[in-house]
Amino acid sequence: MHVILVEPRFPANQRQFVRGLREVGARVTGIGEAPPEALGEELLGLLHGYEQVPSVCHEESMLEAVRRVQGRGRVDRLEATVEAHILPVARVREEAGIPGTTVRTAFLCRDKPAMKEALRDAGVATARSTGAGSADAVRRFAAEVGFPLILKPRRAAGAAGTFRADDAESLERAMAECGADRGAPVAVEEFVEGHEGFYDTLCVDGKPVHDFVSHYYPNVLEAMRTRWISPQIVVTNRMDAAGYGELKDMGARVIRHLGIGTSATHMEWFFGPKGLRFSEIGCRPPGVGVWDLYSAANDFDLYREWAAAVALGRTTQPPSRRFSAGMVALRPDRDGRITGYEGADAILDRFREWILDAHLPPAGTPTQPVEGGYMANAWVRMRHPDYDALLGMMDFVGRNLKVRAGG
């Protein structure tokens, strides 16, 4: 089996997909933007070939590179795992005659209004939404649906560029921030009240063969806007708990209706007064190292399992569900440069048995903005057999490990 992997160097965990493919016996060619010497000896040693392109989102350059690889022999799969790459790679894949995620599926998993329209038509419960290309269109939707509303770029990933509007005045501010008042295309959605989490799968031929349920504490929009909060992502090992059956059924329906075949998926959901509601899905793995949490929680290597699904059409090992696992993000108390930490040694010693790893940048490191994400500054990752005990430990870390910064 010969697999082309797009952008094997960045982000850093991309090389884990290469390693997994090699471990299941696949030949791997990389296509990326960096020169070969930037990949390093270890990664180059895992690749059977490498093609450099100006941009992996430039379809003409990508197709030329794929054709060069095909000229040297058969290509069985062309895979991308980063959100921004999914749609352009699907177009190249289709043009080159390589099996995998179709353009239709990639488009529906990238364009939020089209995604939700398709799923509403299939009977999946989701927020009312529309695509808008002008401020007047946004205002008309607000007049019809009411507040609160959510605005985001049509092809956003996660909470990037997402704004909440609670009234006409904040709507005008949100449109100015995201460019809707200047004609930038945006998705406008009814705000759904409730707890937020995500349901991730690894699918083979459209059927989930591995699945995982995770929770956000607090919801993403609040976490990405509030400095003092130390937000958490927590993976449950209670997959048979009441309520998750409905979530699994929804996930399977979404995957089927969007035509997702052999792929990782990342689906966000809300549960609140109106019940379970679909939020959005990507046909790719989640970000911020969540697959590392899944692997640590389940005593297996999910990157290798993905590789087996892609290259062999099957997986090789069931998840143990032995642990819950999670990450707590730690924000500096102000922008500037990190000056030190309070409570770090005592906390790391207290929970040493349950800590997977931690990232505490040294003094002098420039801080990153709160909206930079869960791994932008300091973080700690943990696991424990009991979900509630893990939540308690992570709460303690978030309250008591302080990141100090100065100008």
Domain containing residue 152: 128-190
Q: Are residues 262 and 213 in the same domain?
A: yes
Q: Taking 80 as the threshold, does the pLDDT of residue 139 lie above it?
A: yes
94 and 19 assigned to the same domain: yes
Residue range 334-363: average pLDDT?
A: 96
Burial class (CB in 10 A: 0-12, 13-18, 19+), 397: buried
Cα–chain center distance at 118: 21
Neighbours of 16 (CB within 10 A): 20
Question: Quick one: 228 and 207 in the same domain?
Answer: yes
- Distance (Å, whole) CA 384 – CA 250: 28
Residue 401 lies in a domain: yes
pLDDT range class, residue 225, cuts 50, 70, 90: confident
Please say whether the beta carbons of 356 and 394 come within 8 A.
no
Residue 7 falls in which region: left (phi positive, over 0), alpha (psi -120 to 50) or beta: left
The reply to whether 168 and 287 lie within a common domain is no
Q: Mean of the pLDDT values across residues 287-302?
A: 97
- Do 174 and 204 reside in the same domain of the chain? no
The DSSP secondary-structure symbol of 353 reads: G
54 belongs to a structural domain: yes
Helices marked H in 8-126 = 14-23, 41-46, 59-71, 83-96, 103-110, 112-121
Out of 56, 84, 100, pick the residue that ends a domain: 100
pLDDT average, residue stretch 318-335? 97
Q: Which two tokens stand for residue 342?
A: 């309070």
**CATH code of 374's domain:** 3.30.470.20
Minimum mean pLDDT among 18-27, 180-189, 352-361, 370-379: which range? Answer: 180-189
Task: Give the pLDDT confidence score for residue 224 in this predicted structure.
Answer: 85
Rg (the chain; Cα; Å): 22
Residues 164 and 218 in one domain: no
Please write the tens of the pLDDT for every residue from 247-268.
999 999 999 999 999 999 999 9
- Predicted local distance difference test score (pLDDT) of residue 194: 94
pLDDT tier, 157 (very low <50, low <70, confident <90, very high otherwise): low
In terms of domains, do 38 and 90 share one? yes
pTM of the model: 0.91
Contact 268, 281 (CB under 8 A): yes
The verdict on 40 and 136 lying in the same domain is no
Torsions phi, psi of 15, nearest 5?
A: -65, -20
Domain edge (last residue) among 147, 164, 190: 190
How far, in Å, CA of 402 to CA of 130, rounded? 41
